[in-house]
Amino acid sequence: MTIRRLPPETVNRIAAGEVVERPASAVKELVENALDAGARRITVQVEGGGLSRILVEDDGAGLTPDELLLAVERHATSKLAPDAAGDYDLLDIATLGFRGEALPSIGSVARLTLTSRARGAAEAWSLTVEGGAVGRPAPAAFPGPHGARVEVRDLFYATPARLKFMKSERAESQAISEEMKRQAMAHEAVAFSLEIDGRAILRLPAEAPGPEGRLARLSAILGRDFAENALAVDHEREGVRLTGYAGLPTLNRGTASHQHLFVNGRPVRDRLLQGALRGAYADFLARDRHPVTALYLEVDSHAVDVNVHPAKAEVRFRDPALVRGLVVGGLRHALAGAAHRSASTHSDAALAALRPEGLRPEGWRPEGWRPGPSPEGFSAWRMGGWNPAPGSGRSAVLPGLEALSARAEPGPGLSEPGAAYDPRGPAPGAPDPLDQPLGAARAQVHATYIIAQTRDGLVVVDQHAAHERLVYERMKAQLDAGGVARQALLLPEVVELDPAEAERVAARAGELETLGLVVESFGPGAILVRETPALLGETDVPGLIRDIADDLAETGQALSLRERLQEVCSTLACHGSVRAGRRLTAPEMDALLREMEATPNSGQCNHGRPTWVELKLSDIERLFGRR
């Protein structure tokens, strides 16, 4: 078989398949170029899902005519510079782009027009590239004092086969919108706007650099609910810093698409970081629920390799254990600081359900209802247009209105139902329960829910879910203090694995032993299991070892074993907690509320559902038209 040297045009089209997979990839590359050029305003217009037209405008540094020609040559870039010895350090990368492939790749499969005015230049210049054929720079009009305007038409017209693999225009437009949101979340100090087929999709003004501006940008993209239910994260270890915001466990989703991770300002998809995120929330969420997060990792450029894939969406860390430990530790610290907080979205949903339109079907009318006065008011009444129903005046007495309540609950100053109220309130020196975060228990309804009163509202507590979390936290503390009890296998079991998998499991023998699993290497491609956690009882040992091997390969953590132990503890806590249907006394209800306030993570049960919902007095008054 003859070996041939391919022409540059064919090489460019092959390379374009890696760099420009779809229209969203082209938008990503062009936006990153604008950010690297120091832009503070980026405008993107898209037509036909990005296949017909993409326009990216910025107010960055701009390009000279000579730089325009270099910009469309493969592996020509302004983002790498040689050191004193003339060497290029591919680990010292402080920009988003550096490979010099984006523009030539786009120009080889589309009709590309570059228009730019360099900072301080009097004239603007334009350059066209069609299917890899480069034109000559020519003077052109440009509205701003400096910046660039990149227009891409007929994407993939030079590679018709690629067009067959594109999704619908709607799907491609959605992918572009998601890419723009990720870039906007990474750079809050830059203004972003996006138009798709003439419709404004994003209008994000520049925010002040720093945590407040970042939270404002996240709120504009992820919604007000995220800002109200997000925990600030700021953790540093050995020169690596983790910042950002993590949603409360009760603010969760059915997919992991709401988990946003950034490394040195670059949106990434990293299995190690996603595994660390899953491990940090493992105590709070069921396996099919996912948290909402936006986490930013700042690490020295020499400690992370971004030159892993042409799309630059994957990274590799020099010390993955350090990064994983930082993410897990930082998130757990933030979640522990949440104490008994629960997402406000559940309170909003409860209020929506309590509104009359949420309780009554359309067209509902009370018995004996008659329409009120017509718009003509008093004159209509005089002419017989409206008459009140008989017995509906102030003198009418509803049956039972003046009778005593059937039941009075004991509360502060009350001893037994029906006892007289003590105006002196709590004993001298004792804190008033109304001033506690979860208030004073007033009643139990349906033998399941506790109604508590606070100074400015009321709290509804699910007694079973709340007590289940309290028991679970106590069990975890006991396990941490005394270790995980182990049971020896009568006959040690040999589990055969791939040699690489067996080596990974054997290397973590010490960590697994702290979790109650004693293993050792048994030759190449085999693991000998001597003891298992007593909590698991009779378990599928080979299946457990294989799951651990998969977790170690994917995330570097033995999540399967941890989750199984947590699942057992959760089941035991469920069976050992106060059941729904059990009637509680007032002291028992108050004791449960006080323990919830003192226990971390008591705002959600072991499956991520809320244990309590708060309704503010102002919201209740609005329900009844008092405000």
The model's pLDDT over 561-575, given as tens digits with 9 standing for 90+, comes to 666 666 667 766 776
Strand partners, 533: 486
> What value does the mean pLDDT take over residues 550-558?
73
CA–CA–CA angle 616, 617, 622 (5° rounding): 100
**What's the confidence (pLDDT) of residue 422?**
42
Structural domains in the chain, sorted by start:
8-81+92-204 (3.30.565.10), 211-337 (3.30.230.10), 339-356+411-419+432-627 (3.30.1540.20)
Tokens standing for residue 499: 């040699």
| Cα separation, 246 vs 226, whole angstroms | 9
Torsion of CA 517, 520, 526, 528, to 10 degrees: -60
Half-sphere exposure for 601 (CA within 13 Å, toward CB): 25
| Cα separation, 525 vs 500, whole angstroms | 7
Residue indicated by tokens 């170690």: 552
- List helix spans (H) across 114-223: 160-163, 169-186, 211-222
| Cα separation, 227 vs 248, whole angstroms | 11
The answer to whether residues 21 and 311 touch, using CB atoms and an 8 Å cutoff, is yes
**What's the confidence (pLDDT) of residue 173?**
95
- pLDDT tens readout for residues 80-137: 777 777 777 777 777 887 777 888 889 888 999 999 999 989 899 999 999 888 999 9
Q: pLDDT over 90 for what percent of the chain? A: 33
User: 463-482 and 559-575 are packed helices; what angle lies between their axes, rounded to 10 degrees?
Assistant: 130
Higher pLDDT, residue 189 or 483: 189
CA–CA–CA angle 106, 110, 113 (5° rounding): 80
| Cα separation, 247 vs 281, whole angstroms | 10
The answer to whether residues 275 and 556 touch, using CB atoms and an 8 Å cutoff, is yes
CA–CA–CA angle 463, 468, 469 (5° rounding): 105
When computed from its CA atoms, the radius of gyration of the chain, rounded to whole angstroms, is: 32
| Cα separation, 587 vs 594, whole angstroms | 10
**What's the confidence (pLDDT) of residue 601?**
81
- pLDDT tens readout for residues 236-250: 999 999 999 999 888
Range in 299-308, 407-416, 422-431, 436-445 the model is least confident about: 407-416
Burial per residue of 53-89, b for 16 or more beta-carbon CB atoms within 10 angstroms, e otherwise: bbbbbbbbbbbbbebbbebbebeebbebeeeeeeeee
- pLDDT tens readout for residues 500-537: 889 988 988 888 887 788 999 998 889 999 998 887 77
- pLDDT tens readout for residues 256-278: 888 999 999 999 888 888 888 88
Tokens standing for residue 315: 């990274």
- pLDDT tens readout for residues 331-380: 988 888 776 665 555 556 655 655 555 445 555 555 555 554 444 444 44
> Residue 603: which of 257, 252, 293 has the closest Cα?
252
- CA-CA distances (angstroms) from residue 173 to 158, 178, 528? 21, 9, 53
H or E stretch covering 18:
helix 8-19
At 140, is the pLDDT very low, low, confident or very high (cuts 50, 70, 90)? very high
**Parallel, antiparallel, or unpaired for β 518-521 and 526-533?**
antiparallel
Higher pLDDT, residue 561 or 549: 549
> Residue 250: which of 611, 614, 592 has the closest Cα?
611
pLDDT at residue 610 tops 50: yes
> What value does the mean pLDDT take over residues 407-413?
42
| Cα separation, 553 vs 548, whole angstroms | 9
- pLDDT tens readout for residues 316-331: 888 888 998 899 899 9
Backbone φ and ψ for 43, nearest 5 degrees, come out as -120, 130
At 555, is the pLDDT very low, low, confident or very high (cuts 50, 70, 90)? low
| Cα separation, 230 vs 214, whole angstroms | 12
**Parallel, antiparallel, or unpaired for β 41-47 and 191-196?**
parallel
**Parallel, antiparallel, or unpaired for β 259-263 and 293-298?**
parallel
- pLDDT tens readout for residues 193-236: 999 999 999 999 999 998 999 999 999 999 888 888 889 999 99
> Residue 492: which of 524, 527, 534, 537 has the closest Cα?
527
Beta strands in 446-553 (DSSP E): 449-454, 457-462, 486-496, 518-521, 526-533
pLDDT at residue 421 tops 60: no
Backbone φ and ψ for 292, nearest 5 degrees, come out as -105, 120
DSSP string, 422-458: -TT-SPTTSPPGGGSTT-EEEEEETTTEEEEEETTEE
> What value does the mean pLDDT take over residues 469-485?
76
At 381, is the pLDDT very low, low, confident or very high (cuts 50, 70, 90)? very low
Higher pLDDT, residue 162 or 421: 162
> Residue 296: which of 251, 204, 253, 232 has the closest Cα?
232
- The torsion region of residue 154 among left (phi > 0), alpha (psi -120 to 50) and beta comes to left
Higher pLDDT, residue 291 or 554: 291
